[in-house]
């Protein structure tokens, strides 16, 4: 997993370097506009297909998905002649609240992804101003844990794979910062191993909202 994350990070760095080198000679004389962002949010975790049954096979019990807290950071490159389009990278983690499962045990569900991302302000044609749409594609992991402290029972399930995210938001510019409100949908397809069953895929996602501060 670490090797794949490192490879994706190198790819993102190379991608940004290529974007910088692709500027025209006149554009290279000015500083390349790079915008950073930091965000917080929440979302309802979604299970697709038979994911709940697969978790039950892993644990001997399962649970209904809960609301999680989102934490994200990212950056975008958006020269003026791109007319509101920004390209960059984004990392997002979701930390789920503990819930009770089938046998009154506690379950915790966390997941994250590192993604390439595109954001487009189609109406204003100016990055970080007004209505926008965003699409992101990345790689990451989820971790689910079943806990029963009374019996010292701790079971974990890991899965690694890809995530596809889409968002719609609105950005309000201030003097030095920009405040954005965003609705987001996420779909992930990750692979993990179940004892006695072998490798299987887990489909999950999220429907949520984020508040993002850009600078």
In the prediction, which pLDDT does 70 show?
96
In the prediction, which pLDDT does 20 show?
46
- pLDDT tops 70 at residue 197: yes
3-state secondary structure the chain: CHHHHHHHHHHHHHHHHHHHHCCCHHHHCCCCCEEEEEEEEEEEEEECCCHHHHHHHHHCCCCCCCEEEEEEEEEEECCHHHCCEEEEEEEEEEEECCEECCCCCEEEEEEEEEEEEEEECCCCCCCCCEEEEEEEEEEEEEEEEEEECCCCEEEEEEEEEEEEEEEEEEEEECCCCEEEEEEEEEEEEEEEEECCCEEEEEEEEEEEEEEEEEC
In the prediction, which pLDDT does 152 show?
81
Q: What is the CATH number of domain 2-214?
A: 2.40.160.20
Domain ranges of the chain: 2-214
How far apart (Å, rounded) are the C-alpha atoms in residues 149 and 121?
Answer: 50
pLDDT per residue as tens digits for the range 67-112: 999 999 999 999 999 999 999 999 999 998 888 888 888 999 999 9
- Of residues 5 and 72, more confidence is placed in 72
Among 204, 160, 108, which residue's Cα sits nearest to residue 2? 160
Share of residues in the chain with pLDDT > 70 (%): 86
Lowest mean pLDDT: which of 90-104, 114-128, 129-143? 90-104
* Residue where the block lists tokens 């049954």: 53
- pLDDT tops 50 at residue 23: no
Q: Which two tokens stand for residue 141?
A: 């992991």
Under 8 Å between Cβ of 202 and 187? no
User: Across all residues in the chain, what is the average pLDDT?
Assistant: 87
How far apart (Å, rounded) are the C-alpha atoms in residues 156 and 112?
Answer: 16
Model-level pTM?
0.81
- pLDDT tops 90 at residue 179: yes
């Amino acid at each position: 997993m670490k090797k794949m994350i490192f490879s994706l990070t190198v790819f993102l760095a190379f991608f940004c370097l290529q974007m910088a080198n692709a500027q025209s000679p006149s554009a290279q004389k000015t500083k390349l506009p790079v915008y950073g962002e930091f965000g917080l949010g929440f979302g309802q975790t979604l299970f697709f297909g038979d994911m709940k049954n697969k978790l039950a096979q892993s644990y001997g019990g399962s649970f209904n998905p809960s609301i999680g807290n989102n934490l994200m950071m990212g950056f975008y490159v958006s020269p003026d002649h791109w007319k509101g389009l920004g390209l960059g990278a984004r990392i997002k983690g979701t930390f789920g609240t503990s819930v009770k499962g089938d046998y009154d045990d506690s379950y915790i569900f966390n997941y994250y992804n590192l993604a390439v991302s595109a954001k487009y302000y189609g109406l204003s044609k100016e990055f970080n101003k007004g209505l926008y749409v965003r699409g992101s594609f990345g790689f990451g992991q989820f971790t689910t844990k079943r806990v029963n402290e009374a019996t010292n029972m701790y079971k974990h399930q890991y899965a690694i794979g890809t995530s596809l995210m889409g968002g719609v938001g609105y950005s309000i510019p201030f003097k030095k910062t920009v405040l954005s409100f965003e609705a987001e949908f996420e779909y992930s397809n990750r692979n993990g191993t179940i004892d006695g069953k072998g490798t299987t895929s887990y489909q999950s996602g999220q429907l949520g909202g984020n508040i993002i501060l850009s600078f």
